[in-house]
Amino acid sequence: MDWIRYENSKAYAGELKASMLRRRIGHDYTSRRIYLITMTVEGRRPLLGKLVGNVRADKYDKDGPRVELSELGRAVCREWDGIKNYYPEVQPLALQIMPDHLHGILFVTRKMEKHLGTVVKGFKTGTNRLYRQIVLGPGEETAGGTATAGETATAGGGRGGRCRSLECGTCGS
């Protein structure tokens, strides 16, 4: 099956839009709410970890399938938890990291002066810095911009690398 036919067969997906065009028009992203954020690694490269374990094992078995976070994945987890240090009105509630993307839940506890996009931009800037330090090494730059892990976030448990505010056994924060 070719790519165009594959994409057209996904009737639920609709038209592919740039992320800035998927925002709800007229919504106040500074207001007190809970937001689900999803970001992907550029090119969907598995920089944040790898899938390990036996897919046939019970999900609660120690040998069950799970994401083992890379050094970058653990650093992204700590960066997510650090959002509250820069924006006290934003509480990271949960983070679920997969090898090539993440899902996160942020709780805006009171009206912010800046919109949520500023918070996400700061997180992405921080994860870009981590990517350059950890993956590329000191003094290295990317050829055509940034290829980072900081373009996605996670929530929940079970299958992905897990990082929760206040109690993170995965990344040590």
For residue 44, give the CATH number of its domain.
Answer: 3.30.70.1290
Gap between the Cα atoms of 160 and 99, Å rounded: 8
Beta strands in 53-89 (DSSP E): 66-69
Residue 2 maps to a domain: no
Looking at the domain assignment, is residue 45 inside a domain?
Answer: yes
Domain membership of residue 47 (yes or no) is yes
Confidence label for 105 from pLDDT (cuts 50, 70 and 90) = very high
- Tell me the pLDDT tens digit for each residue of 120-139: 999 999 999 999 999 998 76
DSSP characters over 8-55: HH-TTT-S---GGGGSPTT--TTSSEEEEEEEE-GGG---SEEEES-T
* pLDDT greater than 50 at residue 95: yes
Which pLDDT tens digit goes with each residue over 38-60?
999 988 999 999 999 988 888 78
d(CA 103, CA 38): 4
Q: What is the mean pLDDT of the chain?
A: 79
Confidence of residue 91 (pLDDT cuts 50, 70, 90): very high
Q: Which domain holds residue 107?
A: 24-163
For residue 51, being part of any structural domain is answered with: yes
Q: Please tell me the predicted confidence (pLDDT) of residue 168.
A: 41
| Position 168 in a domain | no
SS3 79: helix
| CA–CA dist 40, 44 (Å, integer) | 6
Q: Are 32 and 111 in contact (CB under 8 A)?
A: yes
Rounded Cα distance between 32 and 102, Å, is 23
Residue 32 falls inside a structural domain:
yes
Domains held by the chain: number: 1
Examine residue 42 and state whether it is found in any structural domain, yes or no: yes
d(CA 78, CA 13): 32
